[in-house]
Amino acid sequence: MKKILVGLILLTSLLSNVGIWSFFTKKIRNLEKNEEAEKINLIFNAKKLTEFEIKSEGTPLNEDLVLFDIDKKKYTLKDCIKKEVLIFRVSKIHCNACIIEQFEILNKLNRDIVVLTDFETHRRFRFFCQANNIKSRIFNCQSNLNLKINKLGKPFFFILKDDLSCHHFFVPFAGHPFLTKKYIENISMKRKYER
């Protein structure tokens, strides 16, 4: 009887270990498939983004574009932008998680960055500024910037030159903040060497 009991315990233990091993093996395979799918998705999105970035490259913005600051003071684009600056374009339609992630990065950096939003009302603009604890210069611009990259429906960065032409676009990838940091580092270095 003891031999049968010991045999059953060993058999149960063995089957249990095989079941656990099988379970974890399936989990690992699924993780590998998900990682591969994510890589493919990133590559596909990067290709799509690059097309819009290229089509928007060099596009001039209207110097009379109307901007409002948080105190409702009215400016034109040429009044606000006197020298080359990094712009972060955010829209009311963009994903909140994406925007929050980018502002967490921007608020830690000590860079001259201008944020442009497109809220219909000053109240929403003001709420957005307060909710995100924005430390950068920020303006609301209800007009369309007429950039092809707007069609993506994602937040994006670009360099606005002093002649108001747009260059070096970058669309951040949600969940990959290191890419934004690297972009800003590279742009900062590029601007430093161009001066």
Q: Which two tokens stand for residue 66?
A: 């109307």
The confidence score (pLDDT) of residue 50 equals 62
pLDDT greater than 80 at residue 181: yes
Nearest-5° Cα angle at 86, 155 to 90: 20
What pLDDT, in 10s, does the model give residues 153-163? 788 999 999 89
Tokens 């498939």 correspond to what residue? 33
What pLDDT, in 10s, does the model give residues 77-104? 888 888 888 999 988 777 777 788 888 8
Over range 24-47, report the average pLDDT.
54
Distance CA 116, CA 69 (A): 10
Contact 66, 143 (CB under 8 A): yes
CATH architecture type of domain 57-194: 3-Layer(aba) Sandwich (3.40)
Tokens 């924005």 correspond to what residue? 134
Distance CA 79, CA 159 (A): 17
Domain residue ranges in the chain = 1-56, 57-194
The confidence score (pLDDT) of residue 172 equals 87
What pLDDT, in 10s, does the model give residues 107-151? 777 677 899 998 889 999 998 888 888 878 899 987 778 787 877
The confidence score (pLDDT) of residue 15 equals 47
Distance CA 146, CA 184 (A): 24
Q: What global pTM score does this model have?
A: 0.71
